[in-house]
């Protein structure tokens, strides 16, 4: 297992917020929070966005925040949402909160431990070294790897989905559905979060597409993608249908704006 990259002090002390949407992740979240706060990033903050998890994830996250200083001093903020209306809306709420709190950089990652926190310093270092607007922890660039628990069918489906979206939207990145990434503040503001149409996992595709269309530099670094060990995937049929249709809708909207201009 690789160790986190060592960053110069001026980089390591950046105001970095990590946004983590949760729904029934009580078995995973404490381990993830412990790993994040153990990183040598003294100004790291975490925004947990819980959609009213019936397994008590929100209450567990709040207790963690309270035990680590409470309101105003804790490195963890919990956004409690009453409505479960999709991953995309949860990300909008959490990222907006991070910007309001003054973050210079905003990271996205899943709560199920599939995105190893040890890559966060490398994401930050790459962003600062390259001047990118977004750095993506990619499963599909040289040097990346997938969990051995991923069977051939799942690998084929994921690879096909990425090729499908790349072809339709002509995006110059390999992992267009990636959920592990780091944004520079101005790049995130440029995508206009409040007007994002995607409610589910297609939020990732729409965010990449908007960033690219609005002139942001996107860079990928290889990661090892772990598989969920506890809990259940939230990828139901409705989410899959939205993910399949959204690329066509995004491309249609661009063509409409071109004809109107």
Answer yes or no: is pLDDT of 22 > 50: yes
Tokens of 39: 């990183």
pLDDT of residue 229: 65
Which CATH entry fits the domain spanning 10-260: 3.90.550.10, 3.90.1150.10, 3.40.50.1980, 3.40.50.2300? 3.90.550.10
Question: In which band, very low, low, confident or very high, does the pLDDT at 198 lie, cut at 50, 70 and 90?
Answer: confident
pLDDT of residue 237: 43
pTM over 0.75: yes
Q: Render 208-241 in DSSP notation, one character per residue.
A: HHHHHHTT--EEEEE-EEP---SS-----HHHHH
Is 226 in contact with 148 (CB distance < 8 Å)?
Answer: no
Instruction: Compare 175 and 161 and report the one with higher pLDDT.
Output: 175
Report domain extents, the chain: 10-260
Adjacent-strand bridge partners of 120: none
Tokens of 70: 């409470």
Percent of the chain with pLDDT over 90: 67
What average pLDDT does the chain have? 88
pLDDT of residue 141: 95
């Amino acid at each position: 297992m690789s160790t986190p990259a060592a960053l110069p002090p001026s980089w390591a002390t950046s105001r970095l917020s990590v946004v983590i949407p949760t729904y029934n992740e009580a078995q995973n979240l404490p381990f993830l929070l412990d790993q994040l706060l153990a990183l040598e990033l003294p100004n790291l903050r975490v925004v947990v966005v819980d959609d009213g998890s019936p397994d008590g994830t929100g209450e567990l996250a709040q207790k963690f925040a309270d035990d680590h200083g409470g309101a105003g001093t804790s490195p963890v903020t919990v956004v409690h949402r009453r409505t479960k209306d999709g991953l995309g809306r949860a990300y909008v709420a959490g990222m907006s909160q991070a910007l309001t709190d003054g973050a210079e950089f905003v990271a996205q990652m899943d709560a199920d431990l599939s995105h190893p926190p040890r890559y966060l310093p490398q994401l930050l270092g790459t962003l600062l070294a390259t001047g990118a607007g977004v750095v993506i922890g990619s499963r599909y660039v040289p040097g990346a790897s997938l969990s051995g628990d991923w069977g051939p069918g799942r690998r084929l489906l994921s690879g096909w989905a990425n090729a499908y979206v790349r072809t339709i939207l002509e995006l110059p990145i390999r992992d267009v559905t990636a959920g592990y990434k780091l944004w520079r503040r101005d790049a995130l503001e440029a995508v206009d979060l409040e007007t994002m149409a995607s409610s589910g996992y297609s939020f990732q595709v729409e965010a990449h597409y908007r960033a690219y269309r609005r002139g942001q530099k996107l860079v990928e670094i290889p990661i090892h993608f772990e598989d969920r060990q506890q809990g259940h995937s939230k990828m139901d049929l409705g989410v899959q249908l939205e993910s399949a249709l959204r690329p066509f809708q995004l491309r249609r909207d661009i063509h409409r704006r071109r004809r109107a201009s």
